[in-house]
Amino acid sequence: MSTSERDALKRIFGNTGFLIAGRATNAICSFVYIAWAVRALGLSQFGVLMLVTTFGAAVSQATHLLSWQPLLHYGTDPFTNGRKAQFSRVLAFCIRADYISGGVGWLVGTLGVALFGTYMGWPAADQGAACAYMLTIAFMNTSWSAGVFRLCNSFWLTMLTDLSGALVRTVGSGIGFMYHMGLDYYLLVWSMTQLIMFLSSTWLGWMQLRHTGGTLRFSLFTPLKAGDAPGIWRFTLSTSCNHLLGSVFNQFGTLLVGGILGPADAAVYRVSRQIGEGIAKPAQLMMPALYPEFIRLREEQDWYGIKRVTIKLFLMIGGFSVLLMGVAMAVGNILLTWMLHVHWHGGRSLIMLMLGSAILGLGVVPLEPLLTVIGQVSQVLKGRIIVTLTYLPLVYGMTMTWHLEGAAAAADVAGLIMLAVCLRPVVAWFRRMAPGRRPAGTVTGDVPPATLPPVPEKGTGM
């Protein structure tokens, strides 16, 4: 293994460790604050809380532009080489994308509650509070600051942001449990959690830029110049559409289950999915750490390095998945019973199905950033479109037939389709760019210009 490959893997696992620490703290806190919320509200009202907050998260994911990806894609070179003016313009574009899309999300969420709240199983008396909660969408996205943390290799700051939100939600839920607070109070706690995370990540992002990049002459309204970031709009919209379709898979399934089976079943579905994803989360958190490393290897044209890193990650994920299945068999149903304060018949099989979906998603972890970095993000988008068109009617039919187990099995089918669609172009790219083993005595791929990843078309700034 070359030095660049070893360094890349070292940074990937080191940065993933910081992300795991933050999410692990959040997961531990979630076992506490969810249990407190269920006991304070009852299973039915807790189901309404989960449906409202899930709807807000779904709208946020559906409307927000993923500005951290264009910040890494177009900002790495000017930031590394000291072209501060160009980097400032790319950064301004990304911040504008966050704020404008946040405002759009707030409007879409408010309109969605007014039009569809009843169809999603929410009592009419709770829809006013749900409408007020939609304001939270305006400050849910902290994408540009996350991009700064990843650009500066300061993933530990993401851990601090996660910690601030977990502490607010846990303390707030504990107070609500002690004083028997209702749904409106818990919606306020969930909203304040997002606000604190937004403020802390914004402040830490600016502090990191000042520490690493020095003083930036920055104006939020400075437009991009020609040549600053060719194709940034196309790249941003493609990655954001991919994220949008992913949110349909992750969030709207819960809403559909709630509409068919009611809030109580939706709460069981959401929490069991949260347990399955939480068990698999350590490996899923590797994805953000992969982007900057794949970009570095791409800039060096080290195609064999990218291939070796990807294969090693696949082998590690495979071994980790076997361990996950054992953990879920041992403690999955115990966690579900403890968090919901009720024993749910068939809870173990439900969590195993949910974990199966999460494990299939782990296979996509190294594939999605690789396809994005080499200019084939359209392949990821293609996979998301196929999965969405398959998943929504499938989850509806299987939920009507087999209830919660059917909904969980539909997620497994969708995960398998996504893995197959993404794996095919990656294998073809490796055969073309890095066939066989690395030639002896070489470090980077000696690839003719005609076979390099295509350069995106020119775009304009916001």
Write the pLDDT tens digit of every residue in 445-461.
444 443 444 434 333 34
Clarify whether residues 122 and 30 are in a common domain.
Answer: yes
**Residue 458 carries which side chain, given as an amino acid letter?**
K
pTM of the full predicted structure?
Answer: 0.68
Give a yes or no: residue 440 inside a domain. no
Most confident option among 167-171, 280-284, 309-313: 167-171
Last residue of some domain: 257, 274, 305?
Answer: 257
Write the pLDDT tens digit of every residue in 293-324.
888 888 788 888 888 888 888 888 778 777 77
Task: Tell me the two tokens of residue 401.
Answer: 């037939």
Q: Which helix (H) or strand (E) holds 264?
A: helix 263-284
Would you state the pLDDT for residue 138? 92
CB 98 within 8 A of CB 144: yes
Last residue of some domain: 210, 227, 257?
Answer: 257
Clarify whether residues 353 and 307 are in a common domain.
Answer: yes
**Residue 94 carries which side chain, given as an amino acid letter?**
C
∠ Cα 207 208 211 (to 5°) = 85
Domain count of the chain?
2
Would you state the pLDDT for residue 308? 87
Write the pLDDT tens digit of every residue in 338-377.
666 666 566 677 777 877 887 888 788 888 888 888 888 8
Clarify whether residues 33 and 174 are in a common domain.
Answer: yes
Range of the domain at 406: 262-435
Phi, psi of 219 (to 5 degrees): -135, 130
* pLDDT above 90 (res 196): yes
Clarify whether residues 31 and 140 are in a common domain.
Answer: yes
CA distance 243 to 318: 25
Clarify whether residues 247 and 323 are in a common domain.
Answer: no
Give a yes or no: residue 120 inside a domain. yes
Last residue of some domain: 257, 280, 311?
Answer: 257
* pLDDT above 60 (res 292): yes
